[in-house]
Amino acid sequence: MSGDAGQADADSSTEGRRAVVAKRVDSGEADLAEISQLAAAAGYEVVGELTQTRTEDAAFMFGEGKVAELRDLVRRTDANAVIIDNDVGPYQTFNVGGKLPEGVEMIDRFTLILEIFGQRANTRKAQLQVELAELRYELPRAEAKASLAKRDERPGFMGLGEYDESVERDIKRQISEIRDELESIAEKEEARREQRRDSGFDLVALAGYTNAGKSTLMRRLADELEVDENADRHRDLDTTAESQDMLFTTLGTTTRRAEMEKRDVLLTDTVGFIADLPHWLVESFESTLDSVYRADLVLLVVDASESVEEMREKLVTSHDTLYERNEAPVVTVFNKIDRLEPGELADRRAALSGVAPDPIAVSAKTGAGVAELRDRVEDELPNWERERLVLPVSDDAMSLVSWVHDHGHVAEETYAGDQVTVDFEAKPSIVARARAKAADLSAPPAEESA
Ligand SMILES: Nc1nc2c(ncn2[C@@H]2O[C@H](COP(=O)(O)OP(=O)(O)OP(=O)(O)O)[C@@H](O)[C@H]2O)c(=O)[nH]1
Ligand SMILES: [Mg+2]
């Protein structure tokens, strides 16, 4: 054993998940900040770091000398996992793994993210999505194995090739079963959204990178009440305490009511984006983002305390993700302005005006700017219609008036003689329904007129 163990404590008895993080880049300087945050989110203590700038080695990803260095670092730090922030192929995984001390796990960026999602998937939907992603990760590997085995096979009984083919078929069958179940969950959610719209709610979704402050902002804007009774029950890691400074604290969706000046809004918090995810992983979690894609308004939250370059990159990726499917207007929210000097905010606004034309600056933490954000939400939501109904006073008319109160914003309600007049604003669909109900009130009952 070498003596220069650095800060590695021999008797540290934490959870016992100790990881060395490593990354290779073709040029420039490899940045380990994000992979380290992801590792922490998965519950690893990062005990060592290693980077290399060189072209990819086909057999080892890193240069062979670097792999030897990696092995020494793993020994010195007593790590039991190596997390590599590169797209490591199966062959490379096998080769590097062979050079490492026995029992040391090899993890890449995608499997690490899957691990986090797996640990936190506490709804049926989230679990299905994780399973789907895992199966989609396995499928090409199983296919490769089956075709290799088939090639080497000798004629005869059920050979390895056939066995591997049946594994492959099994994966495909499971994938299609999970897809079906996810689809039926999505249909139920869509029905629920429609029902909420019919009740006069506007649906607003929070989107943005993980750790931007979406959940904190949600708590700031929303009333205490959580509306998702049990359909898609989800809790943050710790709902009562402060949000954690950690990637992917929110995985499922939470919807809460938020009262604006006039409009009743249902606010949905959801999973954050992250860069460089392979398409199979993104697609597996697509339905989590349905509440974003199908909202009436999207608040795109960015951490304004990051550098202009980081913000730009994240804004561009977010817009790409959103614009593929989203039709709702998007309002950009610069969050965490409590961390900025006043001049810095102006600089960021100017520098990013191309990707974020008219951002609202807030601090979810201190509440600064949140009132302006509420006003902006109301301005940007699709317009309401104004209507005036004159009804003969009766029990039915009174229940219609209270329905109108529940579903829209009543400006005036006046009684004159045996008539009541309600002057109100509501969504066009609500106005149409109120009119129809009013027409029913004044028309003679159907049975008698027949
Ligand atoms: N200084 C400061 N910190 C903030 C602000 N808003 C959020 N944070 C902190 O940023 C971290 C992430 O906040 P979250 O609300 O969990 O972020 P999120 O976007 O929901 O993250 P995911 O659920 O992981 O996607 C937490 O440590 C928050 O306390 C803010 O306005 N100012
Ligand atoms: Mg969150």
Q: Name the architecture of domain 3-117.
A: 3-Layer(aba) Sandwich (3.40)
Nearest 5°: the CA angle 4, 8, 9 is: 115
Cα separation of 311 and 383, whole Å? 31
Q: What is the pLDDT of residues 361-380, one digit of tens each?
A: 999 999 999 999 999 999 99
Cα separation of 428 and 417, whole Å? 29
Task: Give me the pLDDT at residue 186, please.
Answer: 87
Nearest CA-CA partner of 208 in 315, 359, 85, 106: 315
> What spacing in Å lies between the alpha carbon of 367 and ligand 1's midpoint?
13
> With a 6 A CB cut-off, is 247 part of the ligand 1 pocket?
yes
> What spacing in Å lies between the alpha carbon of 450 and ligand 2's midpoint?
58
Q: What is the pLDDT of residues 137-176, one digit of tens each?
A: 888 877 877 777 766 665 555 556 677 788 889 999 999 9
Residue percentage of the chain with pLDDT more than 70 = 84
Q: What is the pLDDT of residues 93-104, one digit of tens each?
A: 888 999 999 999
> What spacing in Å lies between the alpha carbon of 85 and ligand 2's midpoint?
23
> Counting atoms of ligand 1 from 1, which one is nearest the CA of 243?
16
Find out whether 288 is annotated in a ligand binding site: no
> With a 6 A CB cut-off, is 252 part of the ligand 1 pocket?
no
Q: Which two tokens stand for residue 238?
A: 């710790």
Q: Same fold for the domain at 3-117 and the one at 200-380?
A: yes
Q: What is the pLDDT of residues 389-413, one digit of tens each?
A: 999 999 999 999 999 998 888 999 9
Cβ atoms 43, 15 nearer than 8 A: yes
Q: What is the pLDDT of residues 23-75, one digit of tens each?
A: 999 999 999 998 998 999 899 999 999 999 999 999 999 999 999 999 999 99
Nearest CA-CA partner of 335 in 248, 208, 213: 213
Q: Whose CA is nearest to atom 32 of ligand 1?
A: 336
Domain ranges of the chain: 3-117, 124-186, 200-380, 385-442
301 Cβ contact partners less than 8 Å away, ≥ 6 residues apart: 206, 207, 208, 212, 213, 214, 217, 333, 335
Q: Whose CA is nearest to atom 7 of ligand 1?
A: 213
Q: What is the pLDDT of residues 102-118, one digit of tens each?
A: 999 999 888 888 888 88
Q: Which two tokens stand for residue 259?
A: 């009262």
> What spacing in Å lies between the alpha carbon of 361 and ligand 2's midpoint?
19
Instruction: List 300's β-bridge partners, or say none.
Output: 207, 332
Residue percentage of the chain with pLDDT more than 90 = 46
Cα separation of 293 and 256, whole Å? 17
> What spacing in Å lies between the alpha carbon of 48 and ligand 1's midpoint?
27
Q: What is the pLDDT of residues 265-320, one digit of tens each?
A: 999 888 777 777 766 677 777 767 777 778 889 999 999 999 999 999 999 988 88
Q: What is the pLDDT of residues 305-345, one digit of tens each?
A: 999 999 999 999 888 878 777 778 899 999 999 999 879 99
- Of 12-26, 74-88, 165-179, least confident by mean pLDDT is 12-26
Q: Look over the chain and give the mean of its residue pLDDT values, rounded to a whole number.
A: 83
Q: What is the pLDDT of residues 229-256, one digit of tens each?
A: 333 444 443 443 345 666 777 766 788 8
Nearest 5°: the CA angle 130, 128, 90 is: 35
Is the confidence at residue 386, as pLDDT, over 60? yes
Task: Give me the pLDDT at residue 194, please.
Answer: 84
> Counting atoms of ligand 1 from 1, which one is nearest the CA of 251?
23
> What spacing in Å lies between the alpha carbon of 309 and ligand 2's midpoint?
23
- Pocket test of ligand 1: the residue of 38, 117, 120, 215 to mutate, having most ligand atoms within 8 Å of its CB, is 215
Task: Give me the pLDDT at residue 448, please.
Answer: 46
The CATH number assigned to the domain with range 385-442 reads 3.30.1070
Q: At what angle do helices 90-99 and 64-77 cross, to 10 degrees?
A: 60
> With a 6 A CB cut-off, is 211 part of the ligand 1 pocket?
yes
> What spacing in Å lies between the alpha carbon of 418 and ligand 2's midpoint?
53
Cβ atoms 422, 412 nearer than 8 A: yes
Q: Whose CA is nearest to atom 28 of ligand 1?
A: 243
Q: Which amino acid is at 229?
A: E
Find out whether 269 is annotated in a ligand binding site: yes
Find out whether 338 is annotated in a ligand binding site: yes
Task: Give me the pLDDT at residue 89, please.
Answer: 81
Task: Give me the pLDDT at residue 444, please.
Answer: 58
> With a 6 A CB cut-off, is 121 part of the ligand 1 pocket?
no
Q: Whose CA is nearest to atom 13 of ligand 1?
A: 213
Task: Give me the pLDDT at residue 259, please.
Answer: 80
> What global pTM score does this model have?
0.75
- Pocket test of ligand 1: the residue of 243, 254, 285, 362 to mutate, having most ligand atoms within 8 Å of its CB, is 243
Nearest CA-CA partner of 262 in 94, 408, 392: 408
> Counting atoms of ligand 1 from 1, which one is nearest the CA of 363?
31
> Which residue's structure tokens are 């954690």?
244
Q: Which ligand neighbours the alpha carbon of 211 most closely?
A: 1
Instruction: List 330's β-bridge partners, or say none.
Output: 298
Q: Name the architecture of domain 200-380.
A: 3-Layer(aba) Sandwich (3.40)
